[in-house]
Chains A and B, each alone.
Chain A
């Protein structure tokens, strides 16, 4: 019985040999373009491969339109020609690091460069070159598509369904763990692994959904419901995190007394998570969800301080969101599985992103690729005898674009697989191919070499080795109907690689250092700059409309605060603790978790500020809130400048003093206003705002504590990368 990796390797190898065979028998020039298509669209299931194939084809067609337009307009002026090519590649690089159609934009970018530089010098044949590229890409895709469908077809549906069940089970466990954490029955450190598992399960689900839509009619038919399910489960993950962030302030409270139906609420949530898992397992529904709200014990509540009331309000609000969300999720799963049951009426609205907000990391990636292209182009023109000629540009573009999506990976790490690919292909080209005299021999050689590369690089972490191995093999063997052999062509290709990677390493330092600790500090400063801006917007009356620019800036900074902790986590893992003995990996991880908490709390505070506040409370407490807000802003400003961090003890003392002052002020204000004049909603909105301020302040004290234990002075020192 053949293993899965053997089968997949045979499929790719067979497709490669057949694609070359057809291209050669048709007398087409550059059959390697068909080989490239096979090499890069072959993935583990037919759905994934067909999706990638479609993106490659559309990307190629788009590249053809752009290339022919650029050639038609600028072929007489090489500088304008290059300016527009570089601008187009920059745009494609920016778009490819987004969330949709990444591969389409990747292909659209580098295929434009290949067609333009191949045909630009010979504009009379530009159309033929572009058409050749399209038909050979189509051929490679068609051949691999047919083989993947006919030979050991591998459907994504089973993997997709497994990923759905796994995600539901992990979210259930995470809910359980957070519930125990709230009641002090679990250790926060144990929950970390579960959180990572949940993120991984969500990523797996997100990757498999488009593939399953393509190769499974059942999933395609229900694609709208599945996309809705995807939005809901992603929201469940987010709401669970928001909920967990409010636990620290609850530790001193007797929650069972204050929330009398906490156990009933938990039992209902537990039932729903179990029911979701049962439905996904195709079992008939049992319990209909019962709407439930966490009740408050009025007597117990009156004895609490205002800040404890605020913390409780924040927790209840997250619990309420979770309650509505799980009901929506149950409805959605029932729909998908075709169980006719009355809808619970829960409509959870997931906010859709609106408007364009630039991402600085993606812009930096696009800038670097444009720079790489310029350097390669100028070298080709002005450095006499540079090996490879335009091959330098054609090689630098796709690799540079791919590297822009993984900036934390050093160019040196890619150099070894690329060079190994050239060496392997060089050996085949020099010692095996000259002995061949028919396509039978060539086909068998291509099959065996492709099989070896795929089989030896079958694990997902070896994807780079596979890509470079196949890519370099196709380039170096340079198959054509009038085959000629030249050592110089292998030597030139081998020499182009160090030059391309030298360009990558040099441009990586422009405009900022790519060393992980430096990037970490830069992102940290950006996080606090954005946090400061968002906090400053609290001073704005939510009833007054914002100008377009203000709205746009707020959206930009909100996105920065939401996404930067994730980016910091990624870069934090790359910091080598052996180089910086003053800081260990656990401290960096704790810092990232703290920043994530700060991010959630800032977004909670911004959200709380949007809710209407009672006029009487606004009049009395505006000044107190303002001084608090300004103090937070001042600290964020200091941290942006990475000035010395105030001791956490001093901060804690300031916070305790402020809390006690406010406690008194709030009590006085409530007494002054008198009972019965404020509606329950006024209390709820006010306590959410107060809880938001306190939550942010507590997270800031935690940040100061962590920072003082770390020796970041070392990170600021210059060093060679």
Chain B
């Protein structure tokens, strides 16, 4: 069971990328989409300091992707 979660590097044309890098790229993209939606619906006004929220979202998404989709 635990063997399923062994981190595996991504190979693009023979160039190996660490899984954490790939997971964090997806995490940043998802965080960016989320803040766009929060801006669009004026929900961002409920946050005291949006830049920290962005970083927190990126870390949360990276953690979730690393846990459920791309083992890091």
B contact residues around A513 at 8 Å (CB):
51
Of A42-50, A209-217, A625-633, A712-720, the one touching chain B = A712-720
A contact residues around B44 at 8 Å (CB):
717-720
Confirm or deny: A506 has a beta carbon within 8 angstroms of a beta carbon on chain B.
yes
Q: A513 vs B48: C-alpha distance in the bound complex, in angstroms?
A: 12
A contact residues around B53 at 8 Å (CB):
720
Q: Is the CB of A509 within 8 A of B15?
A: no
Q: Is the CB of B39 within 8 A of A719?
A: yes
Confirm or deny: B68 has a beta carbon within 8 angstroms of a beta carbon on chain A.
no
Q: A491 vs B18: C-alpha distance in the bound complex, in angstroms?
A: 13
Which of B45, B48, B55 is within 8 Å of A719, CB to CB? B45
Confirm or deny: B7 has a beta carbon within 8 angstroms of a beta carbon on chain A.
no
Q: Is the CB of B45 within 8 A of A717?
A: yes
Confirm or deny: B35 has a beta carbon within 8 angstroms of a beta carbon on chain A.
yes
B contact residues around A721 at 8 Å (CB):
50-51
Chain B residue nearest to A506 in the complex (CB): B51
CB distance from A583 to the nearest CB of B (A): 15
Confirm or deny: A487 has a beta carbon within 8 angstroms of a beta carbon on chain B.
yes
Q: A487 vs B47: C-alpha distance in the bound complex, in angstroms?
A: 43
Q: A69 vs B55: C-alpha distance in the bound complex, in angstroms?
A: 40
A contact residues around B39 at 8 Å (CB):
579, 719-720
Q: A89 vs B36: C-alpha distance in the bound complex, in angstroms?
A: 36
Q: Is the CB of A720 within 8 A of B50?
A: yes
B contact residues around A579 at 8 Å (CB):
39
Interface residues of B in 27-71 (CB under 8 A from A): 35-36, 38-39, 42, 44-51, 53-55
Range, interface on chain A: 10 to 19
Tell whether A717 pairs with B54 under 8 Å between CB atoms, given A487-B15, A491-B15. Answer: no
Q: A327 vs B15: C-alpha distance in the bound complex, in angstroms?
A: 73
Q: Is the CB of B42 within 8 A of A717?
A: yes
Interface residues of A in 680-721 (CB under 8 A from B): 717-721
Which of A506, A509, A718 is within 8 Å of B45, CB to CB? A718
CB distance from A310 to the nearest CB of B (A): 47
Against A, the Cβ 8 Å flags (1 = close, 0 = not) of B9-31 are 00000010000000000000000
Chain B residue nearest to A719 in the complex (CB): B44
A contact residues around B45 at 8 Å (CB):
717-719
Chain A residue nearest to B52 in the complex (CB): A509
Q: Is the CB of A718 within 8 A of B49?
A: yes
Q: Is the CB of B50 within 8 A of A719?
A: yes
CB distance from A468 to the nearest CB of B (A): 22
Interface residues of A in 479-495 (CB under 8 A from B): 487, 491
Q: Is the CB of B15 within 8 A of A718?
A: no
B contact residues around A719 at 8 Å (CB):
39, 44-45, 50
A contact residues around B49 at 8 Å (CB):
718
Q: A579 vs B48: C-alpha distance in the bound complex, in angstroms?
A: 19
Q: A492 vs B18: C-alpha distance in the bound complex, in angstroms?
A: 14
CB distance from A252 to the nearest CB of B (A): 46
Q: Is the CB of A720 within 8 A of B35?
A: yes
Interface residues of A in 512-570 (CB under 8 A from B): 513
A487, A509, A719 pick with most chain B CB within 10 angstroms: A719
A contact residues around B54 at 8 Å (CB):
720
Chain B residue nearest to A514 in the complex (CB): B51
Which of A487, A491, A509, A720 is within 8 Å of B38, CB to CB? A720
Q: A513 vs B47: C-alpha distance in the bound complex, in angstroms?
A: 14
Q: A579 vs B42: C-alpha distance in the bound complex, in angstroms?
A: 10
Chain A residue nearest to B31 in the complex (CB): A720
Chain A residue nearest to B25 in the complex (CB): A498
CB distance from A384 to the nearest CB of B (A): 13
Q: Is the CB of B42 within 8 A of A509?
A: no
Chain B residue nearest to A487 in the complex (CB): B15
B contact residues around A509 at 8 Å (CB):
51
Q: A509 vs B51: C-alpha distance in the bound complex, in angstroms?
A: 7
A contact residues around B38 at 8 Å (CB):
720
Q: A717 vs B36: C-alpha distance in the bound complex, in angstroms?
A: 15
B contact residues around A506 at 8 Å (CB):
51, 55
A contact residues around B55 at 8 Å (CB):
506
Which of A487, A718, A720 is within 8 Å of B48, CB to CB? A718
Chain A residue nearest to B32 in the complex (CB): A720
A contact residues around B50 at 8 Å (CB):
718-721
Chain A residue nearest to B50 in the complex (CB): A720
Q: A720 vs B49: C-alpha distance in the bound complex, in angstroms?
A: 9
Chain B residue nearest to A502 in the complex (CB): B28
CB distance from B40 to the nearest CB of A (A): 10
Q: A267 vs B24: C-alpha distance in the bound complex, in angstroms?
A: 72
Chain B residue nearest to A385 in the complex (CB): B18
A contact residues around B47 at 8 Å (CB):
718
CB distance from B59 to the nearest CB of A (A): 13
A contact residues around B35 at 8 Å (CB):
720
A contact residues around B42 at 8 Å (CB):
717
A contact residues around B15 at 8 Å (CB):
487, 491
Q: A579 vs B36: C-alpha distance in the bound complex, in angstroms?
A: 12
Q: A272 vs B48: C-alpha distance in the bound complex, in angstroms?
A: 60
Chain A residue nearest to B34 in the complex (CB): A720
Chain B residue nearest to A716 in the complex (CB): B45
B contact residues around A718 at 8 Å (CB):
44-50
B46, B51, B54 pick with most chain A CB within 10 angstroms: B51
Q: A513 vs B53: C-alpha distance in the bound complex, in angstroms?
A: 14
Interface residues of A in 459-500 (CB under 8 A from B): 487, 491
CB distance from A497 to the nearest CB of B (A): 14
Against B, the Cβ 8 Å flags (1 = close, 0 = not) of A573-613 are 00000010000000000000000000000000000000000
Q: A240 vs B9: C-alpha distance in the bound complex, in angstroms?
A: 68
B contact residues around A491 at 8 Å (CB):
15
Q: A519 vs B70: C-alpha distance in the bound complex, in angstroms?
A: 40
A509, A579, A720 pick with most chain B CB within 10 angstroms: A720
Q: A650 vs B7: C-alpha distance in the bound complex, in angstroms?
A: 70
A contact residues around B48 at 8 Å (CB):
718
CB distance from B20 to the nearest CB of A (A): 11
CB distance from B21 to the nearest CB of A (A): 9
Q: A491 vs B36: C-alpha distance in the bound complex, in angstroms?
A: 30
Q: A109 vs B52: C-alpha distance in the bound complex, in angstroms?
A: 31
CB distance from A387 to the nearest CB of B (A): 11
Q: A717 vs B55: C-alpha distance in the bound complex, in angstroms?
A: 19
CB distance from A488 to the nearest CB of B (A): 9
Q: A721 vs B44: C-alpha distance in the bound complex, in angstroms?
A: 10
Chosen A-B contacts, 21 in total, with CB atoms closer than 8 Å, are: A487-B15, A491-B15, A506-B51, A506-B55, A717-B42, A717-B44, A718-B44, A718-B45, A718-B46, A718-B47, A718-B49, A718-B50, A719-B44, A719-B50, A720-B35, A720-B36, A720-B38, A720-B39, A720-B44, A720-B50, A721-B50
User: Other CB < 8 Å A-B pairs besides A506-B55, A720-B44, 17 of them?
Assistant: A491-B15, A506-B51, A509-B51, A513-B51, A717-B44, A717-B45, A718-B44, A718-B46, A718-B47, A718-B48, A718-B49, A719-B39, A719-B44, A720-B36, A720-B50, A720-B51, A721-B50
Chain A to chain B: the 10 pairs with minimum beta-carbon distance, closest first = A717-B45, A720-B35, A719-B44, A509-B51, A720-B50, A718-B45, A718-B47, A720-B39, A718-B50, A720-B44
